[in-house]
Amino acid sequence: MNKFSRELPAGSRSVDEITGGRRLRRMRKTDWSRRLVRENRLTVDDLIWPLFLIDGENRREPIGAMPGVFRLSVDVAVREAERAVKLGIPAIATFPNVDMALRDETGSAILDPDNLINRATRAIKDAVPEIGIITDAALDPFTSHGHDGILREGIIVNDESVAQVTAAAVLQAAAGADIVAPSDMMDGRIGAIRDALDANGFQDVAIMAYATKFSSAFYGPYREAIGTKGVLKGDKNTYYLDPANADEAVREAEQDLAEGADMLMVKPGLPYLDIVRRLKDEFAVPTFAYQVSGEYSMIKAAGQNGWLDGERAMMESLLSLKRAGCDGILTYFAAEVAERLKA
């Protein structure tokens, strides 16, 4: 045997006999044919850009664990919203880092019509009316203990927390939010918010349910961003989903839809692709994923270290979420991706 020849051992069938003549590489041969058979695409229309807010003016504060992401004062957030519109990004989602002096046991500052979220919504709506604004209806940025609910004797009390978040959602709608997104996983919150929005004349304000929010380690950098790191005592296992459970996630989504959710969200994203696919197949409603802070940080850090190609990993992770069934994705990469898609 010539040392350059590679032949199947005597007695083997030929490749054509093995495959029955089917050659799946045929369509992968050229760039044009790969493009022609491509099943999924990521476009700018898929992107929702989460923005972190802080008090003050002209502030752009770096977040250690999230290179390239900043806490923005409202005036700077307005400029970023303008940039988002120019890039074609359909919507932003705001998350406040609330002054520690304003945080208390029950998160009462969430009920201030002029709190940081509501001020930002008004300013952005006023300056950039063409962008969609999604607000986080959750207590954790406002509580002194970092939990998403009211804490009484070591227990996150469900119904009181729902009442507080519902009142906050109405204030957020009044400030101009297009979509309110309760992220606390309390039972009954979607129905309560829907009733209250309708009763207050906000029939057109939609609800994106953080339907399946898992108790995840991947939220770490976010807690630095909004200043709940070190503040949060214990874990969120009594209200967020167990990462081991998929059937329970389907029940949560079913319940939120029955209560009036317009859109479902799965959070985090990449570790939960199976959940995205199950929800999309089961309910066929607008389905979103939140590529969370830890997912962003992992890709950024590895990219910055030269351990992988950060840009490609960014695109591939988002495309994978599309393939799993997402209609859109909340991602800290939104502006970067939009720039890249434009180029």
Between 116-127 and 74-87, two packed helices, what is the crossing angle to 10 degrees? 40
Q: Does 177 bind ligand PBG (CB under 6 A)?
A: no
Residue 69 or 175: which CB sits closer to ligand PBG? 69
Q: Among 140, 256, 259, 336, which residue interacts with ligand PBG (rule: CB under 6 A)?
A: 140
Going by C-beta distance under 8 Å and a sequence separation of 6 or more, which residues neighbour residue 9? Answer: none
Classify 178 as helix, strand or coil: coil
Q: Of the candidates 69, 124, 193, 292, which one interacts with ligand PBG according to CB under 6 A?
A: 292
Q: What number of residues does the chain have?
A: 343
Nearest to 292 by CA among 180, 217, 181: 217
Residue with the closest Cβ to ligand PBG?
Answer: 222
From residue 234 to residue 263, the character string flagging contacts with ligand PBG as x (rule: CB under 6 A) and all else as - is --x---------------------------
- Tell me: does residue 183 bind ligand PBG (CB under 6 A): yes
Could you say which of 219, 239, 288, 333 contacts ligand PBG (CB under 6 A)?
219
Closest C-alpha among 91, 41, 50 to residue 70: 50
- Report the Cα 263 to chain-centroid distance in Å: 12
Catalytic hit among 29, 86, 125, 213: 213
The dihedrals phi and psi of 306, each to the nearest 5 degrees, come to 75, 15
Q: Given the complex with ligand PBG, which of 191 and 221 has the nearer CB atom?
A: 221
> According to CB under 6 A, which one of 138, 171, 207, 324 is a site residue for ligand PBG?
138
Which H or E element spans position 316?
helix 310-324
The pair of structure tokens assigned to 199 is 């009763």
State phi, psi for 227 to the nearest 5 degrees: 75, 35
User: Would you count residue 223 as binding ligand PBG (CB under 6 A)?
Assistant: yes
The residue count for binding ligand PBG (CB under 6 A) is 12
Binding site for ligand PBG (CB under 6 A): 136, 138, 140, 148, 183-184, 219, 222-223, 236, 292-293
Instruction: Give catalytic residues, as residue numbers.
Output: 213, 267
